[in-house]
């Protein structure tokens, strides 16, 4: 069983829709949770990180962590064509970046 599972999609939504992207994990010791966005032919860029459980909001993006279910989500409100990208979740037990476990990514397309 992989440490982190992520539905690869692809996911297509109309512009303006609310998007929900999810990851599940098996290691209950994970405490740091991150979402990266990767445009085609580019490297990943950090969108948001959350420590432990709870929600975090940044503009149209909300990251949610449910440690009891070992489930994290990224919600995108009022989705835009510029949100079309692959979204990767990542998580770690400790703060060290050398201990990151990445999901395989979900490819999202927002149709104008």
Is the sign of the CA dihedral 31, 64, 78, 106 positive or negative?
positive
Under 8 Å between Cβ of 106 and 37:
no
Instruction: Count residues near other proteins (CB under 8 A).
Output: 27
CB of 108 to other proteins, least distance (A): 16
What do you get for the CA distance between the two ends of the chain, in Å? Answer: 37
CB of 38 to other proteins, least distance (A): 8
> Listing from the earlier edge strand, what are the strands of the sheet with 61-66?
4-6, 19-25, 71-76, 61-66, 54-58
Binding mask 21-50 for other proteins (x = CB under 8 A): -----------x-x------xxxxxx--x-
CB-wise, 44 or 79, nearer to other proteins?
44
* Residue 1 Cα to chain centre, angstroms: 19
Residues 77-96 that bind other proteins (CB under 8 A): 88, 90, 92, 94-96
CB-wise, 39 or 71, nearer to other proteins?
39
Closest to 71 in 3D by CA, of 50, 48, 100, 45: 50
Residue ranges that bind other proteins, judged by CB under 8 A: 4, 6, 8, 32, 34, 41-46, 49, 51, 88, 90, 92, 94-100, 102-105
């Amino acid at each position: 069983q992989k440490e982190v599972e992520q539905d690869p999609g692809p996911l297509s939504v109309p512009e303006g829709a609310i998007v929900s992207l999810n990851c599940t994990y098996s290691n209950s010791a994970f405490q740091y949770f991150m979402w990266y966005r990767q445009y085609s032919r580019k490297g990943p860029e950090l969108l948001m990180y959350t420590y432990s459980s709870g929600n975090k909001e940044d503009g149209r993006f909300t990251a949610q962590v449910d440690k009891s279910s070992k489930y994290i989500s990224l919600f995108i409100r009022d989705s835009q064509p510029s949100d079309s990208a692959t979204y990767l979740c990542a998580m770690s037990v400790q703060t060290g970046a050398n201990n990151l476990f990445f999901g395989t990514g979900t490819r999202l397309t927002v149709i104008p």
